[in-house]
Amino acid sequence: MICEMEKRCYVQTGFWTPESLMQELGIKQSVEEVNRAACRLCREVAEEKGLLFTASLTATPVFEKGGSRQEVVDSYRQQLKPIVEERVDFIMCEWLFDIREMELAIGAARETGLPVVACMTIGPLGDRCGVSPEQCALRMARAGADVVGTNCAVGPRVCLQTLHRMRLALQREGLQPFLIGQPIGLRTPDDGRTMIGRPYWPLACEPVTITRFEANLFAREAYEEGIRYIGGCCHFRSYHIRQVRWRYHKAMAEELAKERGGRKPEAASRLGCWGGGLDRFSEPEVQSRVGRQHWAHVAPDLHTLGDQSPAQHFADWKSALKRSVSVDY
């Protein structure tokens, strides 16, 4: 949501929390007041649509600054009190990079008696201390999470690789939490490096943003892998979420409509999710671009995209014009 708000110029990149929470900017409302208002707005929409809604626990400055276990747990309890009073349906522990902090967040969330979803912000390299995805999954499950998995950090392909390892580890130990996958909406390297380590992140990610059809294919692969909570994190936009929308205990997507008993998301296209409707386009060349066969196999136009930096791309545009067209300057 914050990435979407940033693209629309409501917030600034870098804070990663809307400025309405930043006391140093002179905002008078407390964090609790803002969180309560957010919960009420979410509940209003959820009740209207017959959906569930949640609130998140994320990484805390208390842990980052070396606070004790009790101080971290107390910080989480303080965050939990107002959101529980606002009747959220479950607690989401996410954007956590250290399994030790995740275990504390899960412990605090379990005290509410609500279902707990735990998403480590990791890829195949594990958490920031090198704890493997397998061990992170086992520790989240043993801490009491009802749903375990990953969010953000790595793209859909690498997210699947990470969750596959988690699933096998859980099976070996006889643990059976549900699995969740919420990747970042970008292509990230197969070597497991996260988006944070890429020089283009966070302000020049457009060239590596996934297409809606990559979101389709991710939803299909995730479902076949046994993942039943399928969503997206940073850089996923509304047209992606329509493709991979998820709901409690059931994967929700146009791509997975058959598995959902024929039900589609409210915003689903009546003409289909693989370019349905293009056969009515005015240009014959475009009319043929309907269906999975085209959109699942079309490759990026590397001749157009190239591998130049923005400065290189614009440095010689006049020279290129002279080479291609005779122009009298």
Query: Residues comprising the binding site for Zn(2+)?
Result: 152, 233-234
C-alpha 235: how far from its chain's center?
Answer: 7
Q: How many other C-beta atoms are found inside a 10 Å radius of the C-beta of residue 49?
A: 10
Render the burial of 175-192: b for 16+ CB within 10 Å, e for the rest.
Answer: eebbbbbbbbbbbbeeeb
> Are 181 and 137 contacting, i.e. CB atoms less than 8 angstroms apart?
no
Task: List, as residue ranges, the binding site.
Answer: 152, 233-234
Q: How many other C-beta atoms are found inside a 10 Å radius of the C-beta of residue 272?
A: 16
Listed in sequence order, the DSSP H helices in 173-224 are 212-224
Please return the burial class of 302, using the count of CB atoms within 10 Å of its CB with bins 0-12, 13-18 and 19+. exposed
> Are 263 and 251 contacting, i.e. CB atoms less than 8 angstroms apart?
no
Residue 164 CA: distances (Å) to CA of 157, 214, 225:
11, 18, 7
> Are 149 and 166 contacting, i.e. CB atoms less than 8 angstroms apart?
yes
Quote the CA–CA distance of 44 and 79 in Å, as a whole number. Answer: 21
Tell me which residue of 247, 83, 218 sits closest to 93, measured CA to CA.
Answer: 83
